[in-house]
Chain A
Amino acid sequence: MLLRLHQIDKFYPTGEGPLHVLNGIDLSLEAGKSLALTGESGSGKSTLLHLVAGLDSPDAGEIHLGGTNIVGLNDTALAALRRGTIGLVFQQFNLIPSLDVAANLAFQARLAGRPDPAWLKVLAKRLGLSQVLTRYPEQLSAGQQQRVAIGRTLAARPRLVLADEPTGNLDEATGDAVLDLMLSLVAETGAALLMVTHSNRLANRLNARVHLHAGRLV
């Protein structure tokens, strides 16, 4: 089992006392499989994804990633985990504005110490980015930006890809095209995928789906 969550609790402090966002979540995901995470707005989908990514820590419970419990790891270890094992795609603001497309694409793979120019070339071509390699992020359309984000993540060959509504900012046609590309490329690299989405239609295209409601998985 690549990823296993055990009894995860998460509270946010608010003006009206602590908000219990996640309440005893159990979840697992095998290598090479894809899982959709759905739920209405504010149900805690992003929160859960952030915990798995080591960007934030839970108030209780265990998160086992490739056999180690990442809860309680220090900042440095978590950062190393994000560099080496995980790939993240958000809805927006994924790219580094001061670097051009080529540098953005290569960034994470180089950071992880796994640069692979040949693979990068293939990715750029498959993602239709070969013509825009010298442009800067703000000179790209939203769809192009998301394709760069996906390419950048997959270039590093992570074992687990975490995506938070990666096509939420795109119109339906573009979104579907981008998602198709992502799904086939993830399958080719053999990575596992955990994807947050609002849409039942998109969720149905993954191997499995879970629904988050009132802090619990149903």
Chain B
Amino acid sequence: MVWTGLTALLSHWRRRPVQLAMLLLGLSLATALWSGVQAINGEARASYDRAAAILGQDRLAQLVREDGARMDQQEFVRLRRAGWLVSPVIEGEMRFGDVRLRVLGIDPLTLPPQAQQVDIAAGDQLLPFITAPGVLYAAPETAARLTEQATPPVRVAEGLPPGTVLTDIGQAQVLLRAKDKISRLLLWPDQPIGRAPLEVTAPGLTLREPSETGDLARLTDSFHLNLTAFGFLAFAVGLFIVHSAIGLAFEQRRQVFRTLRALGLPARVLVLLLIAELLTFALLAGLVGVALGYVVASALLPDVAATLRGLYGADVPGTLSIRPAVWAAGLAIAVIGTLVAAAQSLWRLWHLPLLAAAQPRAWARASERALRAQGVAAMVLLLTAAGIAHFGSGLEAGFALLAALLLGAALALPLVLTGILHLGGRLARGPLAEWFWADTRQQLPGLSLALMALLLALAANVGVSTMVSSFRLTFTGWLDQRLASELYVTARTEAEATAIRDWLAQRSEAVLPIWSIEGRVAGQPAAIYGVADHATYRDNWPILSAVPEVWDRIATGDGALINEQLARRQELGLGDQITLPGGWRASIVGVYADYGNPIGQVIIGIDTLVQHYPDVSRLRYAIRIAPGKAESLAAGLRTEFGLPAQNVIDQAGIKAFSLKVFERTFNVTAVLNVLTLGVAGLAMFASVMTLSGMRLPQLAPVWAMGLTRRHLAWLELSRGLLLAALTMLAAVPVGIALAFVLLAVVNVEAFGWRLPMHLFPGDWARLAALALLAAGLAAAVPAWRLARLSPSDLLKVFAHER
């Protein structure tokens, strides 16, 4: 009996392969977008963890200088003598040819076991490691990039973060040109009792506790949350397709269900059989979806990696590893999604009356009641959104606001459309026009899910493109202000720097130092820059708010400018005092825009910087010169001092680079956006196909009364276009609201800066054209079939056998 039932149920799909394909396609696409995003996030998180765990930083305390600069090796010797169990580490960035790497130098003899990343002592590898030219350990990917470069011998070691090489401290000091310098000291977990206190032995050093999660993981959290939100949106839109396909399959098998029930198959068994069928599909589509997700992820990962490097300085490998967790999560979400999408159909089946024929209009009237309930829910959600916007704070609130706004708008859509269609019917003249509006209104319940999906996709598109375009506009303007100098030069040594300065004195209008130290300000990693008192800054710096005569206050040394992200994260404002590395205090005299910078930044007068941090490295300079002469001066600098090309950069070069980073950032969102829109188009198609099967009884009387099939088909097509156009109209305000939330709430929480919003109606027109095209294509297939339908098929409507 069960077996017979199953074969009867499954035979449906053999006769309708397109429908089966639709169901599987929708489910795989939804799963693909979701698990693609998850795969990207997983890859990035794994690499943050690797970075955070390097040399046991997540478990070992360290000693560092308060100002963040390197200490002398003498400190290490002194502490060891005083009984401290410490191990020196030097860290720095350098180039091998055109490969830029982080070099970590360690002392294998004193390294705590917790920090042993690579088994250096294995075999006879220790001696080559500590004697010149040393050995570089690198992750396979990094090692591969180094094959072309002249370096010490490279060995492959799994587990190192990408872009990092590990070597002996002596070799690292040579490579980094930092003789007898140490970046920090690792503390063994168990220290001998009775050792001299730190203040006595090494007064300049402070203890830093192990950080549970790296700064990177914290900084990038918001970025990944953004991606996740997008993945989820795409998934939800994909479920609309699955819902339509399942609904159609159930509707068409109603007769089979009824027969099986009448033959004595219990409702429970029937439902279980159908669930088993759906689960099989879900697992199949889930497998395909996760595989597709990997394709999406590996296509996007290079851009994501570039973004993370540009925005946060985080190194994420450009290739994807296969993670079992992603597979499991992908399959789970496919199954859950299928069950959610099928819930309504299964519920109806459970309550299927054994007799009673299908009644489309009665069904439509039942959903009129649902429409009212939906309207109430929409109102509640939109009010909630307004409430969160007014009272909420934090990134979670931002996302809750987005969710409430989008869901509320989607639920309100059928109500709004019903209203507009009523109005259209009221204004219509002539029997056909009146019928057109009334009939469109009647189609609404069956189409509303697909239209809601379309609304979400369109609103997301309008919102994100508004955000991106606003960003681009603001960012380009900001770059012009921020990069006011024509050339930027980096000397290799202090002596060379002095020579360059002298050489430039006669040849340029001004040479402005760009000297900085790194340290922690208000508990956050930050850079402190010194600036000269010069018109370049007075005229151009992108100040957001400042006290009067701000540059005079900076020049005299009693004020500091901070960037917007530091101000927002630490709730600092004009007049507040901050403590800078080394313990001195300055008062905030201004806040400036600093887009794209993950860490805090403080600007003080150049003299003040040198006075507090005499060891600051004095290698970088900005050069002012008539723009026409910049190129020849750059060439002169390179030949005169033999500087490598990348040490002399012109303004245009940096701008191009910065813009590229941002383009790549938004590339990811743009791709997800287009995919979501595509999925919404498919949802629309699936729904229209579903409905077209039930349309004939509604169309046949009109045909019999004297309309051609062609005419009816045109009307069907126009109906699809009309609904898409109305949905697009509704999507614009929703999208603008979305953009506002993204710019004014989510970005502020995620990145620490706020952007002004600019509107680009041209983009909307393009999107509207795209939406109409998608809807037109979706409606064209059933319309075309209607135009070609044989009269006898239409006549069957009136025959008694129905």
A-side residues, CB < 8 A to B, are 12, 46, 50, 53, 55-57, 75-76, 78-84, 88, 90-99, 103, 106-108, 110-112, 136-138, 164-165, 168
Q: Are A88 and B361 in contact (CB under 8 A)?
A: no
- In the assembly, what is the distance between CA of A137 and CA of B697, in Å? 13
Chosen A-B contacts, 29 in total, with CB atoms closer than 8 Å, are A12-B792, A46-B795, A53-B704, A55-B704, A55-B791, A56-B792, A57-B791, A75-B708, A75-B710, A79-B711, A82-B705, A82-B706, A88-B705, A91-B798, A92-B798, A92-B802, A95-B701, A97-B698, A98-B435, A98-B439, A98-B442, A99-B435, A106-B431, A107-B705, A111-B431, A111-B432, A111-B707, A112-B706, A138-B359
Which residues of A lie under 8 Å from residue B157 when comparing CB positions?
none
Given A57, A84, A93, which contacts B798 in the complex, CB threshold below 8 Å?
A93
Q: Are B704 and A82 in contact (CB under 8 A)?
A: yes
Which residues of B lie under 8 Å from residue A91 when comparing CB positions?
798, 800
- In the assembly, what is the distance between CA of A50 and CA of B797, in Å? 13
Question: Which residue of A is nearest B432, CB measured?
Answer: A111
| In the complex, B799 has a CB within 8 A of chain A | yes
Given A91-B800, A93-B701, A56-B706 contact (CB < 8 Å): no
Q: Are A46 and B442 in contact (CB under 8 A)?
A: no
Question: Which residue of A is nearest B798, CB measured?
Answer: A90
- In the assembly, what is the distance between CA of A84 and CA of B710, in Å? 19
- In the assembly, what is the distance between CA of A137 and CA of B798, in Å? 16
Which residues of B lie under 8 Å from residue A95 when comparing CB positions?
701
Given A46, A83, A94, A168, which contacts B701 in the complex, CB threshold below 8 Å?
A94
Q: Are A79 and B707 in contact (CB under 8 A)?
A: yes
Which residues of A lie under 8 Å from residue B701 when comparing CB positions?
93-96
Given B360, B365, B438, B705, which contacts A108 in the complex, CB threshold below 8 Å?
B705
| In the complex, B709 has a CB within 8 A of chain A | yes
Which residues of A lie under 8 Å from residue B359 when comparing CB positions?
138
| In the complex, B430 has a CB within 8 A of chain A | yes
Smallest Cβ distance from A41 to chain B, in angstroms?
9
Which residues of A lie under 8 Å from residue B795 when comparing CB positions?
46, 50, 55-56
Interface centre among B432, B704, B707 (most CB of A within 10 A): B704
Q: Are A97 and B705 in contact (CB under 8 A)?
A: no
Question: Which residue of A is nearest B697, CB measured?
Answer: A93
Contact with A along B422-457 (1 / 0, CB 8 A): 000000001110110011011000000000000000
B-side residues, CB < 8 A to A, are 359-362, 365, 430-432, 434-435, 438-439, 441-442, 697-698, 700-702, 704-711, 791-792, 794-795, 797-800, 802
Smallest Cβ distance from B347 to chain A, in angstroms?
23
- In the assembly, what is the distance between CA of A91 and CA of B439, in Å? 23
Question: Which residue of B is nearest A57, CB measured?
Answer: B791
Question: Which residue of B is nearest A41, CB measured?
Answer: B800
Excluding A92-B802, A93-B798, 18 further A-B contacts by CB distance (< 8 Å) are A55-B704, A56-B795, A75-B710, A91-B800, A96-B698, A96-B702, A97-B442, A98-B442, A99-B438, A103-B431, A108-B705, A108-B706, A111-B705, A111-B706, A112-B706, A137-B361, A138-B361, A138-B365
Which residues of A lie under 8 Å from residue B435 when comparing CB positions?
96, 98-99, 103, 107
- In the assembly, what is the distance between CA of A93 and CA of B699, in Å? 10
Which residues of B lie under 8 Å from residue A46 when comparing CB positions?
795, 798-799
- In the assembly, what is the distance between CA of A12 and CA of B432, in Å? 33
Which residues of A lie under 8 Å from residue B365 when comparing CB positions?
138
Which residues of A lie under 8 Å from residue B438 when comparing CB positions?
98-99, 103
Smallest Cβ distance from A52 to chain B, in angstroms?
13
Q: Are B361 and A79 in contact (CB under 8 A)?
A: no
Which residues of B lie under 8 Å from residue A164 when comparing CB positions?
798
Which residues of B lie under 8 Å from residue A82 when comparing CB positions?
704-706
Smallest Cβ distance from B418 to chain A, in angstroms?
13
Smallest Cβ distance from B439 to chain A, in angstroms?
4
Which residues of B lie under 8 Å from residue A90 when comparing CB positions?
704, 798
Smallest Cβ distance from A158 to chain B, in angstroms?
10
- In the assembly, what is the distance between CA of A101 and CA of B441, in Å? 17
Q: Are B706 and A97 in contact (CB under 8 A)?
A: no
Q: Give 6 nearest A-B pairs by CB, closest first.
A: A83-B706, A82-B706, A110-B431, A90-B798, A98-B442, A98-B438
Smallest Cβ distance from A108 to chain B, in angstroms?
5
- In the assembly, what is the distance between CA of A79 and CA of B795, in Å? 15
Which residues of B lie under 8 Å from residue A80 when comparing CB positions?
706
Smallest Cβ distance from A43 to chain B, in angstroms?
14
Which residues of A lie under 8 Å from residue B705 when comparing CB positions?
82-83, 88, 107-108, 111
- In the assembly, what is the distance between CA of A129 and CA of B359, in Å? 23
- In the assembly, what is the distance between CA of A92 and CA of B709, in Å? 21
Given B431, B700, B708, B791, which contacts A107 in the complex, CB threshold below 8 Å?
B431
Which residues of B lie under 8 Å from residue A136 when comparing CB positions?
361
- In the assembly, what is the distance between CA of A71 and CA of B160, in Å? 84
Question: Which residue of B is nearest A90, CB measured?
Answer: B798
Which residues of A lie under 8 Å from residue B434 when comparing CB positions?
99, 103
Smallest Cβ distance from A4 to chain B, in angstroms?
22
Q: Are A98 and B706 in contact (CB under 8 A)?
A: no
Smallest Cβ distance from B783 to chain A, in angstroms?
15
Smallest Cβ distance from B336 to chain A, in angstroms?
37
- In the assembly, what is the distance between CA of A27 and CA of B697, in Å? 31
- In the assembly, what is the distance between CA of A165 and CA of B430, in Å? 31
Given B430, B442, B700, which contacts A93 in the complex, CB threshold below 8 Å?
B700
